[in-house]
Amino acid sequence: MTSVVTHDRLGRPLSNLRLSVTDRCNLRCAYCMPEATYTWLPNPEILSFEEIETLVDRFVSLGVRKLRLTGGEPLVRRELPTLIARLAKKPIDDLAMTTNGVLLTEHLADLVSSGLHRVTVSLDTLSPSRFKALTGRDHHAHVLAGIDAVAASPLRAGLKLDAVVIRGVNDGELVPLLDYAGRVGAELRFIEYMDVGGATKWSAQNVVSGQQLLSAIAATLGPAEPLKEDGSAPARRFRLPDGRIFGLITSTTQPFCRTCDRARLTADGHWYTCLYARTGVDLKKALRSGQSPAELEQLIASVWTGRNDRGAEERVALRDQRGPLAGADSLRADPHLEMHTRGG
């Protein structure tokens, strides 16, 4: 397969694809899916594995080299390891998955043999009761068991843990989470609480900024030194005086739009060039209407070369006018605005 690099209007390459394989989830995180009921994507609209593979091939030939499976919860998609095994045959440098970890133990052997390169597990708290309050489900022990299973498997080298920090909820757990990550051999990334998708209860007061996180960590563990970074990675990495490394994803207060090389494909084939974009491109429609591989590539390339998105930077510019991006009514009317549809 020949490959070109496709750049947008700000010179950012199309090199990273987040592939949401389902909008369904077995948790109900307060910052992502806080409502009792949701408008789900209809089943006939969900891309088959063949369709996913066809679209991934188009992105790969336009320069994508990093692919992350996400959701919803990717492990609730049936036969996911079969899809991963097919994607693992593509010329992809980094094939990763973000999961809430609930079903990891059950699927780990298949994931290892599928050829997946890396796993990131979301873990916001070490407290079972806080986990239940935050996610609406009593699955904390399953998540910890899943992390232990990865830590004892061939996937241990790439294990990362992601924690969304919310003021007054889990901001007292920064050092315990770092200690836990160290025990299981994972790199921990703290994520600022974002105002997008199902974060309908978001307010600036609930955000613990990257700067505040660094100060709070320094108060116990000493100052963290910034590491030299890969230009497009969302996390800025730091080293503690004791040598431990952790990351900060400061999408809310110090976004990284200037180097953003990420495209997002929803489980029903809608393509978004920004997490904050109001509208996307219906690639499934183009695919199912019989467009050829060359036509699909032309469509994707024309959208990316016109891309000018800086969604998170525009949110920062709102300053004290900033609130949740979308209310519950608009999310019900268009589930494509949801974080669990776009894949985070």
The residues binding ligand SF4 (CB under 6 A) are 25, 27-29, 32-33, 71-73, 100, 122, 255-257, 260, 262, 274-276, 309-312, 340
Name which of 286, 263, 279, 277 is nearest 70 in CA terms. Answer: 263
| Interface with ligand SAM in residues 51-80 (CB under 6 A) | 70-71, 73
Q: Which stretch binds ligand SAM (CB under 6 A): 24-32, 221-229, 235-243, 273-281?
A: 24-32
Reported for 219-222, long-range contacts at CB under 8 A and 24+ positions apart, including other chains, are 220/175, 221/175, 221/178
**247 part of the interface to ligand SAM, by CB under 6 A:** no
Q: Which helix (H) or strand (E) holds 190?
A: strand 187-192
Q: What is the residue type of 299?
A: L
Size of residue set near ligand SAM by CB under 6 A = 20
Q: In angstroms, give the least distance from the CB of 307 to ligand SF4.
A: 8
* Pairwise CA distance, residues 178 & 163, whole Å: 10
Binding status of residue 100 toward ligand SAM by CB under 6 A: yes
Under the criterion CB under 6 A, does residue 25 sit at the interface with ligand SAM?
A: yes
Alpha carbon distance 230, 222 (integer Å): 25
What would the two tokens of residue 276 be?
């904050």
Give the rounded distance of the alpha carbon of 44 from its chain centre.
25
Q: Which of 84, 87, 199, 281 binds ligand SAM (CB under 6 A)?
A: 199
Q: Which does 19 bind (CB under 5 to 8 A by kind): ligand SAM, ligand SF4, none?
A: none
What are phi and psi for residue 196, nearest 5 degrees?
A: -110, 160
Q: Which residue is nearest to ligand SAM (CB)?
A: 344
Q: Which is nearer to ligand SAM, 178 or 303 (CB)?
A: 178
Given 164, 186, 248, 325, the residue binding ligand SAM (CB under 6 A): 164
- Angle between helix axes 210-221 and 174-184 (nearest 10 degrees) is 70
Nearest residue (CB) to ligand SAM, 32 versus 267: 32
Closest separation in Å from C-beta 220 to ligand SF4: 27
End-to-end CA distance of the chain: 29
248 binds ligand SAM (CB under 6 A): no
Partner whose footprint covers residue 99, from ligand SF4, ligand SAM, none (CB < 5 to 8 Å by kind): ligand SAM
Q: Contact between 191 and ligand SAM (CB under 6 A)?
A: yes
Interatomic CA distance for residues 288 and 237, integer angstroms: 42
Element (H, E) at 305: helix 293-305
H-assigned helices in 200-271: 210-221
Residue 275 binds which one of ligand SAM, ligand SF4, none, with CB within 5 to 8 A depending on kind?
ligand SF4
CB 87 to ligand SAM: min, Å? 17
